[in-house]
Structure 1
Amino acid sequence: MDASVSSALRLSSNPTIPGRSGTRRPPNLVATSRHPSGAAAARLHAVSPSPSSSPPAAAPVESFGFDALKETFSVDVAAAEARPLDVPLAAPFTIASSRLESVSNVAVRVELRSGAVGWGEAPVLPSVTAEDQPAALAAAGRACKALAGVPTAPLGALLQEVAGVLPGHDFASIPIVAPNEAAQLAAKYRGQGFQTLKLKVGKNLNSDIEVLKAIRLVHPDCSFILDANEGYTAEQAIEVLDRLNEMGVTPVLFEQPVHRDDWEGLRDVSVVAMDKYKVAVAADESLEVIDAARKANVALMIGGMVETRIAMGFAGHLAAGLGCFSFIDLDTPLLLSEDPVYGGYEGLFVVKKE
């Protein structure tokens, strides 16, 4: 039998509060003001729920699917807040585009009226995420304000409320239209301040090139994201990149260039795009890619940014629940010089099953 890899989380059976060694607490996460050393902006630990808190009522769940959960699980938010999550690294962490001396992420705390508390983490790496910590903190703050102001609602409605206040895309989309209509849209978007245009392509290669030429006449300095929606063959996708290069155009992203089942084609396009033109390629945008990878016997990997155990804990549960990742790269908490989280899981272990 081929070796498979799964992950398991070991939960702490005896979480303690700083300064109260040996005090046992159930694993509900809340936050103190700051770490005593001042190096970490949020220190999390396990404490007992308020005596007045009543246990949450069981919500009827018809299936384990997330779509069903969004409709059947009701959420009543009592409070939500965002705060800086600053933790020094044990040593500088260098990648091709940047060098990190410390983690400057954003932690989010949400408390329900039932007394349940949840934590989230937004990683920040400006060379990758575009946002710096102040921008991410401001966006998370707006989302928290929206959460706290919503009455009891299904999870799906709550997520829509949050999506409505978070920053939208910093680009405008142009559908597959005639060149003159595309030029009119591009001129309008230029007047509105958009410097990046997402161009739908993939039905006809030559028509796509003509549309792009027309857009360049009215918005010569714009950047492009190409979204083929699986419309090209691998050969056509590579030809598009070649012809754009002849025009002096380098897309910032090439999205879904080939059919989701064409793994060899996706590989070929990705290699040419990155090695020859330094263009990133985005694959299929849904979890269906997991099923397709399994059928094609393609190994999957899950990783993350430089994050604490808040984000890595969620990623570990996701990896364990899906059970389809051959490579699990969730080790960034080991890079931190101190752990800003008390309680929770003690370690993420990779178990190889023969």
Structure 2
Amino acid sequence: MSHTTIRSVAVEPLTIPLREPFTIATGSVTAARNVLITITLEDGSIGYGECAPFPPSTGESQETALVAASACATLIKGKDAAHWRTLSALIQSVYFAQATVCTGMEMAILDALTRSYNIPLYLFLGGASSSVETDLSIPMVKPDRGYEIAREAMQMGIKSLKVKVGGELREDVDRVEAIRSGAPHLSITLDANQGYTPNEALLCLEALDNRDIRPLMMEQPVHKDDFAGLRYVSQHTAVPIAADESASSPATIARLLTDTCVNIINLKIMKYGIVKTLDSAALCRSLHTQLMIGAMMESRLAISASAHIAAGLGGFKFIDLDTPMLLTEDPFIGGYEQQGCHYDLSQVQSGLGIYRK
């Protein structure tokens, strides 16, 4: 038996309230209703993983993730974490419909393994950098509240704002304009979360252009299955278009890029797991496509995993890993040191560097 053999796997709910409701085009949440996975290896190394289901995006809930993760624990117990790619393929072959469970298991396996190897995950993945810089997301709020959040973000040292749109066009444009007024020197990206038709997306960008507001990019303007709509928007604006929900697997990413539907791919580990995220990043690089990394409603644990991936691989133009700032509390410490929007991983000694409080 190897010292990196998985001795035990524990599964438990992880529920954390938000500071205020977070509303996007596909729904509103008041708490992160996630699942925590804890893996212990034969040498005593402990790894943590987080599943962050969001029903409109992943088709999962905390309840389904708990059941699937508990069953998956039996599947991997006694296996060697050193064979993490083989284990990922095994987990994906059985629990492919529970993507966040696959992610949480892979995260815990890699955390435990790199703790056992006494190497930070970002170095294990390539060590291209030891830090990342995130934006701050502003939900679909009234313009005056958007103005307040923008002012607060500027005082925090945030350099980039991601504004949720995809609702009524006039309200969306008014919100973005108020945010620009509140933080005139910060860069702005837009995220419609599938809320527009192709023409509505173009009308939004045109209305903003008329107000001298030119976002750095617009994310997922149309329904996830409307690849033709994505391509239409991309071809009729100078604003780069990103795919998020449409980029649901390496196969769909390949189709999006082959058909020149978008300029940017948002890689979220909760959509298809860590190994497929690494594979998707390699695919995007090979086709010279800009990379973004984002998140569901995640705690410091899962956000640390994404930060380690982005820093380890390097080359991510857009970083959207701000969700721990939206939570009333966080049951974890470590993973990175935060200064404003800057996440520094250089002090992590091994694994994700995450510890339970």
Smaller-chain TM-score range?
Answer: 0.3 to 0.5
Higher relative contact order (CA 8 A, sep 6+): 1
Q: Per residue, is there more helix in 1 or in 2?
A: 2
Larger radius of gyration: 1
